[in-house]
Structure 1
């Protein structure tokens, strides 16, 4: 019988169709029963005799993968593969797939929601009212402002489509310039420096790779307007958290919305102490629709790759 480790806690939570597909294919499921992201030691224990893994953000580096001699395929529940040693997988003929675009609308919604929450000070005002402070608080405008989108993949494009409804002037930054998309959506392709100096809002949708690590740092933040709102629902590490904290404390920029952090222990981040920072628990993709879609896609990808390995 095929054995599959499933680590994401939300997998199949709102629709059991993904579990039914595994059952029909006589798959023995190894569940994550901890209620948390698995540690490296726990991963080493659980991967020992599995044929496949449906993986969240749990560690799958070479040390962990070396403990999985039967492993044939990894299906990432999401799109970021920075927790997976892809070189090891290639060397050992382990297929790796992602649930591309499954959560694009959920993350785009959340990213735009972060912009609104920070600009209009929504959490701050709500908390104040609940604690007896019913004073009026002046906030920033969103409609008609300039938005820079860093990363023009499916999620970045989703944010742009939402921004057009707010009559925003949009600037885009990516390694690839798609002239048709830019023209159709009236997006100005620009350098990172120009976006930092021109825009009122910046939304980040880049992968975390060596070229993007610490991309938003002290130097870049020094170019920003003092009314800038920056949001990141992509990957921690793209923004240097210490530099962002300094920029916020010194009022170089207006505010930030963060669903991800540079530090592995975000509960200890200084950014949590600031009233002009709205934070999330890496939850942008966690809508019921996205969870169901990612679960089905993850299972489909895994079963396809396992079948191909069996026939090879």
Structure 2
């Protein structure tokens, strides 16, 4: 420009050049875009949190339902019989009279030693002494590894049995339990179907346990075991004792004492009905007598 003054808008020499300035409208647009992106990210994160909470709630609900359903699991056969036998013991406490003060006679340890000598290892059992002669001895249904055996204290005292003779009496009941006579008698088809099943939202038959209690009473107090079953038990015991002459002689002596007792003491007149019969057992042990017909 010739002549005249320099315009006010002209850049003076030495002034810095603003290379990064953007128009004001562009700054506002960037802020809006950033806020939109941020809102999307925040909303997306909240959505994930909500979804995770729902998943956790659903998992917790499923677990609660599973726990509830599992409370309706019916025991397996192995777990049911020990439980029900103890239940029957509690229901029958007045009749059985097992809750009395008694010294430790050491029967458990002597019986365990005898079992181990015969070859039965790691068996668990509970010998319960009864202060009654209404029943004399019986093994209740249990698991394959544990047994509950009831034994009348007046019964063994009356015969003045030795610890070995008592152990042999317990052993006879132990073998009888292993053969499953009591359990088979007590097991109905209805009960058999329930073992290991779940009855959630189903009804258990009300009469099931009452009928089972009645069967326990019947076999323990009145019906007992058959001639055939007694023969099988006696011959099995004799076979297992065969290698130990001391045990064989003690077992015969035990059966002889029981035979004498039931013949002379009217308190035990029903014994032959429950365990037929000591006299026949002696004949079987001595190689005589006729085996019952099946």
TM-score by length of 1: 0.23
Name the structure, 1 or 2, with higher relative contact order (CA <8 Å, separation 6+).
1
Structure number having the greater strand percentage: 1
Structure with the greater alpha carbon radius of gyration: 2
TM-score by length of 2: 0.24
